[in-house]
Structure formats: C-alpha cells, structure tokens
Homo-oligomer: A and B are copies of this chain.
Amino acid sequence: MASALYDPTPFYATAQPQETKDFCMQQTMVRVKDPETSLKFYIETLGFKLLMYHDFPQWGFSVYFVAHGLKGPVPADEDKRWDFCMRTPGCIELTWNHGSEKSDGAVYNTGNGDATGTQDGQAVKGGFGHLGITVPDVRGGVQNNMPRDSLIDFVPQVYEACERFKKLGCTMTKTPNGGGMKGLAFIADPDGYLIEILPQGPMITKPLDCDGVAAEGGEAYKDNSKA
C-alpha cells in the first residue's frame, strides 16, 4: 500500500531561529582513495576551484576543499584562505587517509546499493545518494525568473556538459535520455561517488544524448538505492 504523501508546506513559513543566523552549509565530506586523481577530476572536469588544504600528519590524513562560484579570488594568506573557505557554501571536503592510494581497487563504500567496504560483499542499504551539480541552461545570458512560456534560444546544457564528460572519458551511469527521468544525468567520480548533472532551470530534453539514446522511450526509472 502506498504511503500518504507528506505535506511540508507549513515549513515555508518557519522563521529562521535567531541563534542560527549566518549558519552556513559549508561542506560535504567524502573520503577519496587518491587525492591527485580526485582533485584532477573535480577541478579539471567539474570546474571546481581548490580553496584550501590541510595536512594532519599526526593523524594520518589530509583534507582538500573545493568549491564552485567563489565570491572573489582565493586569498594567498593562509589564515585568510581558511576563513574564506569556511564562509563558502557548498564546498566538498575531499579527505585522504594516507596510504589508501596503495590499495587495489575501490576502497570506500559510496552509498546507494554499493557493496564496497563490506565484509560479506553484499550490497548495503546506503543513505548517501549523490552530489548534484546544476549547469546553466540557456545560451545568450542568464534568464533567472524568465517566464517558462517565453524561453527563447533555449539550450539544455546538460546535454552539452555530458558530451564533454564523455569525451573526457568519464564513467556515465545515466545519460540524459537514459532511465525514467529525462534531462538529467549521473556520472561517477574516481571513487565511484555519484554526481548528478541537472539544469538550473526547467528539465527540457534533446532528442538524442551523448550515447545516442532517444528521449522518447529509453529504460525505466532506476532507484540508485537498490543494488
């Protein structure tokens, strides 16, 4: 039996508690096997900037913060760089446990229905799903709040982004026209974490995607939490 849907609309009116003013959802931390491989992927492929890194040799790990949409250049001074990073929303904190790069194969369970990192080799009911990157969707300038019926010269850039990812050799787990949700894609990072690629505006499709999959038809919806 289907559950009744839950209506969260009363929360739209909830005032932010004064004590939480200026709280910032600053980081999502994931562990990576090899920092060089991961930084190349996040910076060169996904367009993140390196904001800050710190080594903790006494505890055997290092952290690397990357982000999009910086509010200015990364300060050269180390203290100022730290402060700048800690005020930047939506950073990814890539954590390298020293020595993991010497392991064979995948090291970490990446959430969803992954079996990596288990003792019995069986899929885990993983809570972590993915990181999601939104990409611009209209050529010729940003049209924030443009009415939907006046979209002119519209380019669903998810498709262009995916053409590029494919050329760069990315592992694509869902192309824009694959699966039941059209117009968004999933690629895997070097450790296997899923990265969703979706538009900054309406979900509009192109007839064919980078894998030649047609928007009409395609596979059924796939729940990533299942193995």
Contacts and interface: CB of A to CB of B under 8 A. Distances in A.
A191 to B, nearest CB: 6
Contact of A148 (B31, B79, B96): B79
Interface stretch (A113-121, A170-178, A211-219): A113-121
Given A117-B127, A134-B86, A25 B48 contact: yes
Nearest to A147: B79
Interface in A1-28: 2-3, 5-6, 8, 11-12, 14, 16-17, 19-28
Contact of A8 (B8, B64, B124): B64
Contact of A128 (B26, B61, B128, B196): B128
B124 A124 contact: yes
B145 A126 contact: no
Interface of A: 2-3, 5-6, 8, 11-12, 14, 16-17, 19-32, 35-36, 39, 43-44, 46-50, 53, 55, 57-62, 64, 67-69, 74-75, 79-80, 82-84, 86-87, 89-93, 95-99, 101-102, 107-111, 116-120, 122, 124-136, 142, 144-145, 147-148, 160-161, 164, 180, 191, 193, 196, 198-202, 221, 223, 225
